[in-house]
Homo-oligomer: A and B are copies of this chain.
C-alpha cells in the first residue's frame, strides 16, 4: 500500500508515540516503572541525544520525574549522559544494542529479585536439613517439604546460570539460543 498524503514528520511522530507507549507496556516485563521505560523508549526510538526539558515536554511529565528516572537509567548503563559544547544542559542518549539492553535489565532483575529469593530458599533448606533436625528430619512432612524446596532451588539455579551466561557472554549465548530455537 502506498503512502497517503500525510507528511513524513507527522508519521514519524505518530510511530514514535506508538513505540513509546509499547515500551511503557513492557515495563512490568523489565521490572521498572512505566515512566522509566517510556523515557528509555523515547531515547531508543529517536536515537537522538535529548535534553531533560525535551523529554519532559514530549512525555508530559514533571521535571523531578525525569531527573529521578534518568539517574537510574544512567546508573544502569542504559542511557549515556552527553555534553554539547557551548550548552550547559545535559543531554541523554540511549544505548542502541538490543542485546546489551536486555543484558542490563536481566542483570538488574537478577540482583534485585532472584538473588534474595535464593538466599531465603537456602535458609529454608538449611532449617529442614538433617544437620539441623537430627532424627526429626525423617518425618515424612519434613522430608516432603525439603524435597519441594530443593526442586525449586535446582530450577532457580538453572535460571540463574542462564542469566549469568547472558551477562557474561551475550554474543556467544545469542548464537546458542539461536541454535536452540532452530527447527
Residues of A near any B CB (own CB < 8 A) = 1-3, 8, 11-12, 14-16, 18-19, 22, 25-26, 28-29, 31, 44-47, 96, 98-99, 102, 109, 113-114, 116-117, 120-121, 123-124, 127-128, 131-134, 136, 139, 141-142, 144-145, 148-149, 151-152, 154-155, 158, 161-162, 165, 173, 176-178, 180-181
Bound together, the chains give a CA A79 to CA B20 distance in angstroms of 37
Contact partners of A99 in chain B: CB under 8 A: 155
Bound together, the chains give a CA A177 to CA B163 distance in angstroms of 11
Nearest CB on B from A23, distance (A): 9
Q: A133-B3, A158-B177, A178-B158 are in contact. Are A15 and B117 (CB under 8 A)?
A: no
Residue among A18, A114, A127, A180 with most chain B CB within 10 A: A180
Q: Does more than half of chain A's interface fall in helix, strand or loop, or is it mixed?
A: helix
Nearest CB on B from A56, distance (A): 22
Q: Check if A121 sits within 8 Å of B22, measured CB to CB.
A: yes
Bound together, the chains give a CA A31 to CA B27 distance in angstroms of 11
Contact partners of A142 in chain B: CB under 8 A: 8, 12
Contact partners of A116 in chain B: CB under 8 A: 25
Supply 29 A–B pairs (Cβ within 8 Å), ascending by A.
Answer: A1-B132, A2-B131, A3-B132, A3-B133, A3-B134, A8-B136, A8-B139, A12-B145, A14-B127, A15-B127, A15-B128, A15-B145, A18-B123, A22-B124, A25-B117, A25-B120, A26-B117, A28-B31, A29-B113, A45-B148, A47-B144, A47-B145, A47-B148, A98-B155, A99-B155, A158-B177, A158-B181, A161-B181, A176-B180
